C-alpha cells in the first residue's frame, strides 16, 4: 500500500501503516544517511520489538537507550540521558534516532533529536494506538515541566513514520481504549463520516480486528497529515486537533501526570467540550449525547474526576499554551465533524459544564 505523505516541501515524509512493518529494513534504509543509529525505547517495548528493529538496521552502529516507561520519563533529565549517549558514542550530524514505543518515547526521543547538534534526523516507530494516530505525526516533541505539560519542546519533524498495526495486539486493554479516544476525537473535530464509521465498527475495533484498526489508524493519520501540512506551527487550523485537550491537560496535571492516561483525559475533555457547546446551543443535545455515548461505549470516561473542583479546573486551564494573556481558549464543536478554537464562549456555560461533568471515578474506567 502507498504510504501517506505529510506534505511539508523539502521536509515531507511518509507514514507507513500496515502489518509487520517494524522489521522491514527497506522502510528504514532510505532515511538513514549515516551509519550511526540510536534506538530509544522503554522496557516493555524493548522486550517485544527491539530485536526486530536491530535486525532491520543491519550492520549499522546501533546503540539503545531504554527508558523506564510511562509519563515519568517525560523530563529534561531523560533528554539529557539520551544526549549523553549520543555524545559518548560520538554520533555525528548524520546519525539518526529511532523512537520505538508510545507517545512518551516519541516525544522525548524526538526532542533529543531536535536539540542534539541543533537537530539530527529521527524515525518514529509508534507501538501504541495513541502514538500511531496522533503523537508520532506532526513533529511536536518535548517534555513536561513540574508545573505543566509539554512546556519545553520543539517542532521537529520525523523523516519517516512506521506504524505497525501488528504491535497493537500486545497493547493493554487500557492503552487500546485510550488510543481510541484520539480516533474518536478525529471524527468529532474533522470528519462526521468517520465518526459514523467508528460508531458502526467500535465492537470490532475493541476486539482488535487488525483490518479495522489499520483503517482507523490510516484515516486518523490522513486527517493529521492534512492539518499539519496546512499549519505546521499551529498558527491556525492545527489548534483544532486539541479538541478536549485543554480540559484534558487540566485533568492530567491536577491528578498528577500518569494517573490518568492522556487518551482518557482527552476522552473526558472531549465530552466536556461537547457539553459546553450544547449548553450554548452550538450543537444539539442529541449530538452531544452521541459523542458522550460513543466514548462511554469505548470504556472511556465521559467526565472529569470529582477530585478537581471547578476552580481547580479554571486555574489549571489558564496555564494552557493556547491561553492568551490569562484568557482561556477552547476548541469546541460546532457540529460533529466541525470545530473551532475560540476564547468567545459564555463563562457561565463553562461554569455549568465544570460543575456538571464531574464524577467520583478512577481509572481504569471499563469492566
Backbone angles phi, psi at 156, to 5 degrees: -150, 110
Greatest Cα-to-Cα distance within the chain, rounded to the nearest angstrom:
62
The burial class, CB within 10 Å (0-12 / 13-18 / 19+), for 26 is exposed
Give the Cβ contact number of residue 355 at 10 Å.
11
Residue 74's contacts (CB-CB under 8 Å, 6 or more residues apart) are 104, 107, 108, 143, 144, 257
Measured from the CB of residue 173, what is the shortest distance to a second copy in angstroms? Answer: 33
Tell me, residue by residue from 157 to 196, as one string, x for binding to a second copy by CB under 8 A and - for no binding. ----------------------------------------
Binding of a second copy by 117 (CB under 8 A): yes
Binding of a second copy by 88 (CB under 8 A): yes
Q: Give the integer Cα–Cα distance in Å for 288 and 3.
A: 34
List the one residue from 38, 67, 83, 213 that touches a second copy (CB under 8 A).
83
Binding of a second copy by 197 (CB under 8 A): no
Give me the catalytic one of 71, 175, 232, 234: 234
Give strand pairing partners of 332: 340
Q: At what angle do helices 192-206 and 173-190 cross, to 10 degrees?
A: 170
Measured from the CB of residue 219, what is the shortest distance to a second copy in angstroms? Answer: 27
Q: Taking CB under 8 A as the criterion, which residues in 131-150 touch a second copy?
A: 140, 142, 145, 147-148, 150
Measured from the CB of residue 234, what is the shortest distance to a second copy in angstroms? Answer: 8
Binding of a second copy by 11 (CB under 8 A): no
List the one residue from 5, 20, 58, 80 that touches a second copy (CB under 8 A).
80
224 is catalytic: yes
Q: Give the integer Cα–Cα distance in Å for 300 and 319.
A: 25
140 is catalytic: yes
Residue with cell 476564547: 343
What is the total residue count of the chain?
367
DSSP string for 223-289: HHHHHHHH-TT-SSGGGGGGTTHHHHHHHHHHT-TTSS-HHHHHHHHHHHHHHHHHHTTSS-HHHHH
Measured from the CB of residue 293, what is the shortest distance to a second copy in angstroms? Answer: 35
Measured from the CB of residue 117, what is the shortest distance to a second copy in angstroms? Answer: 5
Closer residue to a second copy, CB minimum distance, 153 or 254: 153
Closer residue to a second copy, CB minimum distance, 87 or 207: 87
| Spatial contact of 121 and 159, defined as CB atoms under 8 Å apart | yes
List the one residue from 152, 192, 237, 356 that touches a second copy (CB under 8 A).
152
74 is catalytic: no
Which helix (H) or strand (E) segment is 191 a member of?
none
Binding of a second copy by 96 (CB under 8 A): no
Measured from the CB of residue 151, what is the shortest distance to a second copy in angstroms? Answer: 6
262 is catalytic: yes
Q: Which residues are catalytic?
A: 118, 140, 182, 224, 234, 238, 242, 245, 249, 262
Binding stretches for a second copy (CB under 8 A): 34-35, 76, 80, 83-84, 87-88, 90, 92-94, 114-119, 140, 142, 145, 147-148, 150-155, 233, 318-319, 321-325
Amino acid at each position: 500500500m502507498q504510504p501517506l505523505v505529510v506534505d511539508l516541501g523539502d521536509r515531507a515524509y511518509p507514514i507507513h501503516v500496515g502489518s509487520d512493518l517494524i522489521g522491514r529494513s527497506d522502510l528504514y534504509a532510505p532515511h538513514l544517511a549515516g551509519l550511526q543509529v540510536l534506538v530509544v525505547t522503554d522496557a516493555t517495548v524493548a522486550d517485544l520489538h527491539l530485536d526486530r528493529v536491530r535486525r532491520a538496521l543491519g550492520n549499522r552502529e546501533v546503540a539503545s537507550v531504554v527508558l523506564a516507561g510511562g509519563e515519568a520519563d517525560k523530563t529534561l533529565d531523560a533528554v539529557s540521558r539520551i544526549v549523553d549517549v549520543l555524545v559518548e558514542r560520538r554520533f555525528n550530524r548524520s546519525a539518526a534516532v529511532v523512537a520505538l514505543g508510545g507517545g512518551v518515547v516519541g516525544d522525548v526521543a524526538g526532542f533529543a533529536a531536535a536539540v542534539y547538534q541543533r537537530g539530527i534526523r529521527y524515525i518514529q516507530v509508534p507501538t501504541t494506538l495513541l502514538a500511531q494516530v496522533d503523537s508520532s505525526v506532526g513533529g511536536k516533541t518535548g517534555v513536561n515541566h513540574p508545573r505543566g505539560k509539554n512546556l519545553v519542546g520543539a517542532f521537529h519533524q520525523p523523516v519517516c513514520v512506521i506504524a505497525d498495526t501488528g504491535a497493537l495486539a500486545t497493547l493493554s486493554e487500557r492503552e487500546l481504549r485510550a488510543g481510541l479516544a484520539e480516533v474518536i476525537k478525529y471524527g468529532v473535530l474533522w470528519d462526521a463520516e468517520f465518526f459514523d464509521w467508528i460508531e458502526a465498527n467500535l465492537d470490532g475495533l475493541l476486539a482488535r480486528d487488525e483490518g479495522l484498526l489499520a483503517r482507523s489508524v490510516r484515516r486518523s493519520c490522513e486527517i493529521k497529515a492534512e492539518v499539519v501540512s496546512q499549519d505546521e506551527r499551529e498558527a491556525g487550523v492545527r489548534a483544532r486537533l486539541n479538541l478536549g485537550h485543554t480540559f484534558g491537560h487540566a485533568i492530567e496535571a491536577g491528578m498528577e501526570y500518569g494517573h490518568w492516561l492522556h487518551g482518557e483525559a482527552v476522552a473526558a475533555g472531549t465530552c466536556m467540550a461537547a457539553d459546553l457547546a450544547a449548553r450554548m446551543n452550538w450543537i444539539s443535545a442529541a449530538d452531544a449525547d452521541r459523542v458522550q455515548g460513543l466514548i462511554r461505549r469505548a470504556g472511556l470516561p465521559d467526565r472529569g474526576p470529582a477530585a478537581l473542583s471547578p476552580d481547580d479546573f479554571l486555574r489549571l486551564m489558564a496555564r494552557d499554551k493556547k491561553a492568551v494573556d490569562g484568557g482561556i481558549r477552547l476548541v469546541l464543536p460546532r457540529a460533529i465533524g466541525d470545530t473551532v478554537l475560540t476564547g468567545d464562549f459564555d463563562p457561565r456555560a463553562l461554569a455549568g459544564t465544570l460543575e456538571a461533568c464531574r464524577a467520583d471515578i478512577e481509572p481504569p474506567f471499563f469492566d
